[in-house]
Amino acid sequence: MISFLKNFLLRNSYLILAGLFLFISAFAINAYLSGNSTTRILRNSIESFLQERENDFQKLIRNELKIRRLSDKNYSLDELNDLMDKQYGILIYERNHPFSEHLTFWSDQSSILPDSFLLKPDGNYFANLSNGQYEIIKHSFNRMLPYPLTVIALIPVRWQYFISPENLKPAFVGYSSAENRVRITAGPSPFPVRDREGQTLFYLVKTESYHAAKYSFFLLLVVFTGVLLLLVVIHNMAHAIVEKYGRLPGISFLVITLLGCRIMTYYFPGIFHFRQYELFDPTIYSSNFILRSLGDLLINALLFSWIVLFIQQEISEYRIPVFRSFSKRALVVLATMSILVSTTFLFADIVQSLVADARISFNVTNAFSLTIYSVISFIILAALALSYFIFTRILLRLVRDYLEGNILIISIVVATIGLGILSFHTRPGLVELDIYVLIWLLCYLWLMIRNIITGLRFRLNISEIMFWLFIFSSSISVIIIFENRKIELEQRKSFADRLAEQIDPSSEKLVSMSLIYFENDLLQQEFDRFRNPVENHYLKDSLINNNFSAYLSKYDTKIYTYDSAEKPLYNQVSVSYDTLNTIFKLQGKPTTIPNLMYYEKAYDKFSYIYKRVIRDSSGRISGYLFVQAEPRSYKSEGLAPQLTQQRKEYLPEYSPVYSYAIYSGNELVSYYNNYPFPTRLNDSLLPRKDFVQRKNDGYDELWHPVSDDKVIVIAKKDTLLIEAITLFSYLFSAFLILVALFWISSVLIQTRLHWQQLKKFLQLNIRSQIQTTIIFVSLFLFLVIGVSTIFFLINRYNRNNQDRLSASLKVITGEIGNRLVSYAAAANISSPIKQMPREDLDRIVNNVAEIHNADINLYDVNGSLIVSSNPFIYTKGMLSDQMNPLAFYYMNRLNSIEFFNQEKMGGISFQSIYTPLRLEKGSATAYINLPSFNTEDELNDEISRFLVTIINLNVFIFLIAGIIAVFLTNRITTSFSLISEKMRQVNLSKTNEVIEWKKNDEIGGLIREYNKMVAKLDESATALAKSEREGAWREMARQVAHEIKNPLTPMKLSIQYLLKANNSGAPNVKELTASVAKTLVEQIDHLSKIASDFSQFAHIGNPHNEVLDLHELLSSLTSLYRTMENVLFKWVPAPGKILVNADKTQLNRLFTNLLQNALEACHGQETCVISLSEELKDDQILIRISDNGEGIPEQMRSKIFIPNFTTKSSGTGLGLAMSKTIVEQARGKIWFETTEDVGTTFFVELPRYQEKPFPVLPNKALSDEE
């Protein structure tokens, strides 16, 4: 055992050392990244980043002439682009009044400076602004003419927006990974960040919950590689144990080791910090203690696949022996089928749970709804299916002899076990799925047992693998579709309930809890703050953000304040007290909440208004407060879905997947999307129960009666066929990827990364080369066509969107211009943009925006925002109130009539178009901007449909290519195999057949050359045969003459001696005559033996085979040697009958010859020890015949089986030659091992005759003997 371990460690030392090195490296890297060193590095990097921009700003302000030109808007396009490319904002203010400064230049749209900073002295400051943390540098040019200038640099340190969806996440500028490692703090810490003058701006502290492995891909890769090497070492150890000690110890070692390591990770998860990764988050997927997360399921699936692959490789063709006892055979079948059925239901449960219990999208018809977890799930499904396939093949191959010919009985047993399990383990709502799984298992068993597509063969070719991948991909697709349909129906029911809520004013619950903070005492204490314009704005924002933040995506909430004289107190939107009070008193309908009214703006949209009278301690009115909450009406391409990151397919308000209609009194009152709903319902269409599904012209309708007179209908296109095909394609692709990974892993493990062995694996045969080439060509074309088409779709979409925006801008500009002109004429004003009330301008812009379903911004000629139909992003500081500087340049300096620009806000990229508004002929009075805050749903939908189509086509092409590859390779390799077989059959001793080939192709040319070679070979064979026959006759004549001459010489001498004695009258003639006669008889017997040996050798090629028990034959032979003196004979037979199909006479001659040779080899030994033993090896019987003789000299070993060669002083030398011929004719092998002065062992291996397996349930019971 110690030597075994030493050899193993030496052979795998490089893997062990590499694994240890990686683990030590990972520990060191983790300690370094998790310690203060990484915080210090980040501090230095951020500090360097800020100081570089400080130096750049100082270089800019040294050029006073350039600053003046920028303020006077006298700069070039290249200068503007250069300033916009800087990673900080530049603002220039002109002070033309001692206490008034106005902005004259800005370099970006993200820099928002509070007015209070203009009052601060020059210097460097650190500030929290509305969209993040900045270093602010102020520099004044007090002596610059004609007016002093103030230049401010806003260097962003960290972005932090009002809300934090996926595309507006908080992040350090230039160091996105720093967000997870450090945070900014005002208090002192060991890591201050200083400006170029050494003044501390802020401090950094390490994030307490930071785990280096979670955020460092390199560290994760090091750990993963180390674990992989550890598993390879375990695999190699198990394989070495199999080679040394047998299958069972090796397999047990692998299973126990991997199981122990896995259990350790369950109870000690901190070893690898699994729970820090989202993959191991139970909220994404969790089923039970074992499958507590998607990551756990992935690990378990891959480890189980590894184990079953190892078992399949090691057990090879092993089968469980067939017992003669009926009860034992029945027990084996029952146990095997129970394991099979239980495993099948277990795997089906896991697949069903993965779809039903996980927050993972399997909506394959929308490629953009899939996530990385969807991809991982498909890999898991492929791993589960492949491991199940391999496991069941192992199980069925072990009991193969029990199953053949008993399909009906086995099916009945499986069905009974399956129904029994289901009766004790019923799952509500999954009965149909369980029955489907049981029926599928019966069909699967039938295919396996009947060897359809050779399911139980040890090695499968490519066409067979493709068939089983097709079967499993189709089967799993059915389960996923079954669960997807259930999930989608529940979602639609939820949608219907939400729509029912929206058309019911009882949805006041959305705002009721938010009004608890509007108590009189609180408002009385804080009301005076509303009289200050800065405090007013801050306090209203705080109240909305703190109380209504959960409902900002549903309601547009505004707070209005008025003093005791009903005059407005700095309201953002100019609305009079009388307007709101009229809505409250006349339009409002009471709710269950005091002072809260609702009123209907549209049939299914309810707004809320809340009024609070503020009184002081004496009861006198201090003022009034109104809260107005109106439901948001998003455009399908609006900004809000991007900001809230809501999935459109899950929001019926603007879902591209669903259409809905709302009926009241059988009349259509509201609908969404373009489904042709009937305008009126007749009584036959009214549902009789809640939630009724109906099929209608390729659509699936869900009818939900809300009340006696209100009905909601939600329609969705029925995509069952395309969903099934696409699911199959995804699963089939996942199977192919996993099979390729398994093959690569197997090659790497078997070759142990040795280049020479790797080269052997990479030397593919012609069949594999052709199939691989066709497959890779199809994959390459798929990638090329896919990428080029997606680029084409994106470019076309951008062009179409630009054209659409341009057309909309022209219409909107004309409409706004006409309304402003009409308003100016009615109000008798000359400049409506400047003179008309803000609320009137706001109403016009919002009305046009609502009509055209667009976002509209109106800027003045100085680039400042006047009105926006979507003020949310400006009031919350996501963008500044200033126009995009590049657009302002084209509008103001170049007087362009239209400018299209690609703009950005955080991680959101959007298109924007500008045009001047000219109310009269001449210069522009304002600039109109249409930002396209769309989520590119139209583009994504088109790309998704294209991806679905091309993936389906590619899988189809892949299957066709596979079939064509198999056909071509079979055609080509069959021809080569035919030629190869004919070449193997070429023999000079027989007539060689030519190959007939009618096609005039390359193979035909090869065959013609082969036929010419055969013809020439036949001629040569005839001449050679003639020469050999003559030589053989000469050799035979020489041998026969020599053998006959040997006995004739003593016979001649004896007769001559007798004749001489008789002539001389010798007295003992009678005795001499008897002696001569005895010698003559002996020599005549010897001549007879020579003749017999040659006769047997001549007739040995004509065996008469029969099925015989080898034990009976050997028993009769061994009885002859057991009674001999000075002979110790041992016979160790194998258990049971040993049946062979051979010539009995020749086998008797074979073993007689070997035993006689063993006996003769012991000549000179006091005791001759002869051992005869048998060993069963799979389908073979191995017989050993050993002696303790003198052994065979080394120089004679290579000639031992050559005819006429002998080591004895007498004999023909035909014994062992005949023995070898007899064994080979019985399809066996013979060889020997010898040691001089120790002995010789001859080995004879013969194939066993296989009896037909006993039936599982025979008509007559067999005996209990095995």
Q: d(Cα 1245, Cα 904) in Å, to the nearest integer? A: 81
Q: d(Cα 210, Cα 36) in Å, to the nearest integer? A: 12
Is it true that domain 507-632 has CATH number 1.10.1660? no
**What is the chain's mean pLDDT, rounded?**
79
What per-residue string of b and e applies to 608-647 under the rule 16 or more CB within 10 Å gives b?
A: bbbbbebbeeeeeebbbbbbbbbbbebbbbbbbbbbeebe
Q: What is the pLDDT of residue 605?
A: 63
Q: Where along the chain do its domains lie?
A: 38-185+200-207, 507-632, 788-937, 1002-1090, 1100-1247
What pTM does this model have?
0.63
Q: Pairing between strand 200-206 and 182-185? A: antiparallel
Of 1196, 1204, 1185, which is closest to residue 1093 (Cα–Cα)? Answer: 1204
Q: Is 1248 in contact with 1179 (CB distance < 8 Å)? A: yes
Q: What is the pLDDT of residue 744?
A: 74
Per-residue pLDDT at 927 exceeds 90: yes
Q: What is the pLDDT of residue 339?
A: 92
Of residues 1058 and 441, more confidently modeled = 441
Q: What is the pLDDT of residue 973?
A: 66
Confidence band for 885, pLDDT divided at 50, 70 and 90: very high
684-710 confidence digits (pLDDT tens): 888 888 888 888 888 889 998 888 778
Instruction: Summarize the confidence of residues 715-735 as an average pLDDT.
Output: 83
Q: d(Cα 1140, Cα 959) in Å, to the nearest integer? A: 46
Q: 788-937 and 1002-1090: same fold? A: no
Range of 696-705, 1041-1050, 1103-1112, 1169-1178 with top mean pLDDT: 696-705
Per-residue pLDDT at 635 exceeds 70: no
Of residues 962 and 647, more confidently modeled = 962
Q: What is the pLDDT of residue 647?
A: 41
Backbone angles phi, psi at 719, to 5 degrees: -110, 35
What contacts 693, CB < 8 A, 6 or more positions away? 489, 700, 701, 702, 703
Per-residue pLDDT at 443 exceeds 60: yes
72-90 confidence digits (pLDDT tens): 889 999 999 999 999 899 9
Q: d(Cα 309, Cα 724) in Å, to the nearest integer? A: 30
Confidence band for 655, pLDDT divided at 50, 70 and 90: low
Per-residue pLDDT at 384 exceeds 60: yes
Confidence band for 1088, pLDDT divided at 50, 70 and 90: confident
Per-residue pLDDT at 482 exceeds 70: yes
Q: d(Cα 112, Cα 132) in Å, to the nearest integer? A: 10
| Residue reference for tokens 């022996």 | 321
Element (H, E) at 600: strand 596-602
Can you read off the two tokens belonging to residue 25?
């490296």
Q: d(Cα 928, Cα 947) in Å, to the nearest integer? A: 38
Per-residue pLDDT at 1260 exceeds 70: no
What contacts 904, CB < 8 A, 6 or more positions away? 910
Q: What is the pLDDT of residue 362?
A: 81
Instruction: Summarize the confidence of residues 38-57 as an average pLDDT.
Output: 89
Of 116-120, 448-452, 1127-1131, 1254-1258, least confident by mean pLDDT is: 1254-1258
Range of 456-465, 721-730, 769-778 with top mean pLDDT: 721-730
Q: What is the pLDDT of residue 1196?
A: 80
Per-residue pLDDT at 1185 exceeds 60: yes
Q: How far is CA 320 from CA 27, 394, 403, in A?
A: 48, 11, 12
Instruction: Summarize the confidence of residues 552-579 as an average pLDDT.
Output: 81
Range of 272-286, 652-666, 810-824 with top mean pLDDT: 810-824
Q: What is the pLDDT of residue 891?
A: 92
Q: How far is CA 1210 from CA 222, 973, 1082, 1214, in A?
A: 75, 54, 14, 12
Per-residue pLDDT at 1261 exceeds 70: no
Q: What is the pLDDT of residue 934?
A: 64
Confidence band for 985, pLDDT divided at 50, 70 and 90: low
Q: d(Cα 451, Cα 467) in Å, to the nearest integer? A: 13
What contacts 917, CB < 8 A, 6 or more positions away? 813, 816, 817, 820, 833, 858, 924, 925, 926, 927, 928
Q: How far is CA 711 from CA 661, 703, 708, 1131, in A?
A: 8, 7, 8, 93
Percent of the chain at pLDDT > 70 equals 78
Q: What is the pLDDT of residue 1016?
A: 77
Can you read off the two tokens belonging to residue 1206?
């002998």
Of 778, 765, 760, 775, which is closest to residue 972 (Cα–Cα)? Answer: 765
Q: Sign of dihedral through CA atoms 873, 875, 879, 885?
A: positive
What is the distance of C-alpha 95 from the center of its chain? 63
Of residues 792 and 654, more confidently modeled = 792
999-1031 confidence digits (pLDDT tens): 666 667 777 777 777 777 777 767 766 776 666
Q: d(Cα 1200, Cα 1196) in Å, to the nearest integer? A: 6
Per-residue pLDDT at 752 exceeds 70: no
Backbone angles phi, psi at 1115, to 5 degrees: -60, -40
Q: What is the pLDDT of residue 784?
A: 83
Name the architecture of domain 1100-1247: 2-Layer Sandwich (3.30)
Q: What is the pLDDT of residue 20?
A: 84
Q: d(Cα 1093, Cα 1206) in Å, to the nearest integer? A: 14
Of residues 924 and 1072, more confidently modeled = 924
Write the CATH number of the domain with boundaries 1002-1090: 1.10.287
Choosing among 3.40.50.300, 3.30.450.20, 1.20.140.10, 3.30.930.10, the CATH entry for 788-937 is: 3.30.450.20
User: What crossing angle do the helices spanning 431-449 and 462-502 adopt, rounded to 10°?
Assistant: 170
Per-residue pLDDT at 1256 exceeds 70: no
Q: What is the pLDDT of residue 832?
A: 84
Of residues 881 and 143, more confidently modeled = 881
Can you read off the two tokens belonging to residue 618?
């004496």
1049-1072 confidence digits (pLDDT tens): 667 767 777 787 777 777 777 777
1219-1244 confidence digits (pLDDT tens): 888 888 888 888 898 888 888 999 99
Q: What is the pLDDT of residue 913?
A: 93
Q: d(Cα 1133, Cα 1139) in Å, to the nearest integer? A: 13
Per-residue pLDDT at 55 exceeds 90: yes
405-436 confidence digits (pLDDT tens): 678 888 888 899 888 888 876 666 677 788 88
446-467 confidence digits (pLDDT tens): 888 776 555 555 566 666 777 7
Q: What is the pLDDT of residue 504?
A: 59
Strand-pairing partners, residue 623, are 563, 614
Of 35-44, 191-200, 1106-1115, 1127-1136, least confident by mean pLDDT is: 35-44
Q: What is the pLDDT of residue 883?
A: 93
Q: d(Cα 308, Cα 311) in Å, to the nearest integer? A: 5
Can you read off the two tokens belonging to residue 952?
């389906």
What is the SS3 assignment for 767?
Answer: helix
Q: What is the pLDDT of residue 591?
A: 74
Q: Is 290 in contact with 296 (CB distance < 8 Å)? A: yes
Q: d(Cα 1184, Cα 1189) in Å, to the nearest integer? A: 15
217-236 confidence digits (pLDDT tens): 677 778 778 888 888 888 88
